[in-house]
Chains A and B, each alone.
Chain A
Amino acid sequence: MSLTLEQVQRIALLARIEISEAEAASTQGHLNGIFALIERMQAVDTRGVEPMAHAQDLGQRLRADAVSETDRRAAFQAVAPETEAGLYLVPKVIE
Chain B
Amino acid sequence: MITKSLKQLGQALAAKEISSVELTTLFLDRIERLNPEINAFITVDRDQSLAEARAADARLAAGTAGPLTGIPIAQKDIFCAEGWTTTCGSKMLANFVSPYDATVIARLHGEAGMVSLGKTNMDEFAMGSSNETSYFGPVKNPWDRTRVPGGSSGGSAAAVAARLAPAATGTDTGGSIRQPAALCNLTGLKPTYGVVSRYGMIAFASSLDQGGPMAASAEDCALLLNAMSGFDERDSTSLDRPAEDYARDLEQPLAGLRIGLPREFFGDGCDPAVMAAVQAALDEYRKLGATTVEVSLPNSHLSVPAYYVIAPAEASSNLSRFDGVRYGYRAPDYDSLDDMYMKTRAQGFGAEVKRRILIGAYVLSHGYYDAYYLQAQRIRRLIAEDFVTAFKSCDIIMGPTSPSPAFKLGERAADPVQMYLSDIYTIAVNLAGLPGMSIPCGFAAGLPVGLQLIGDYFAEARLLNAAHRFQQATDWHQQTPIPI
Contacts and interface: CB of A to CB of B under 8 A. Distances in A.
Given A51-B378, A56-B239, A31 B358 contact: yes
A33 B379 CA distance: 21
Secondary structure call for the A interface: loop
Interface in A41-58: 41-42, 44, 46, 49-56, 58
A75 to B, nearest CB: 4
A22 interface: no
Contact of A61 (B236, B341, B375): B236
Given A11-B361, A52-B380, A93 B337 contact: yes
Contact of B354 (A27, A34, A52): A27
Interface stretch (B213-221, B264-272, B305-313): B305-313
Contacts of A7: 362
Interface in A17-34: 17-19, 27, 30-31, 33-34
A91 B338 CA distance: 9
Contact of A37 (B305, B325, B345, B358): B305
A46 B355 CA distance: 27
A41 B416 contact: no
B361 A14 contact: yes
Contact of A41 (B97, B376, B432): B376
B471 interface: no
A66 interface: no
B346 interface: yes
Nearest to A16: B341
Interface stretch (B113-121, B243-251, B281-289, B326-334): B326-334
B378 A46 contact: yes
B296 interface: no
Question: Which of A17, A31, A37, A63 is most buried by chain B, counting CB atoms within 10 A of its CB?
Answer: A17
B110 to A, nearest CB: 16
Interface residues of A, number: 51
A27 B361 CA distance: 14
B309 A80 contact: no
Secondary structure call for the B interface: helix
A67 interface: no
Interface in B60-113: 96-100
Nearest to A46: B378
A55 B362 contact: no
A37 B308 contact: yes
A85 interface: no
A60 B238 CA distance: 11
B88 to A, nearest CB: 14
A72 B358 CA distance: 34
Contact of B377 (A11, A53, A79): A53
A45 B330 CA distance: 45
B377 to A, nearest CB: 4
Interface string B119-151: 000000000000000000000000000000000
Question: Which of A35, A50, A55 is most buried by chain B, counting CB atoms within 10 A of its CB?
Answer: A55
Given A11-B361, A46-B378, A55 B193 contact: yes
A3 B371 CA distance: 15
Which 8 residue pairs of A and B lie closest in terms of their CB atoms, listed nearest first? Answer: A55-B433, A51-B377, A52-B381, A46-B378, A81-B330, A18-B346, A18-B342, A55-B193
Interface of A: 3, 7-8, 11-12, 14-19, 27, 30-31, 33-42, 44, 46, 49-56, 58, 60-61, 63, 72, 75-76, 78-82, 88, 90-93
9 contacts: A15-B360, A18-B342, A18-B345, A33-B417, A38-B372, A44-B302, A51-B377, A58-B194, A60-B236
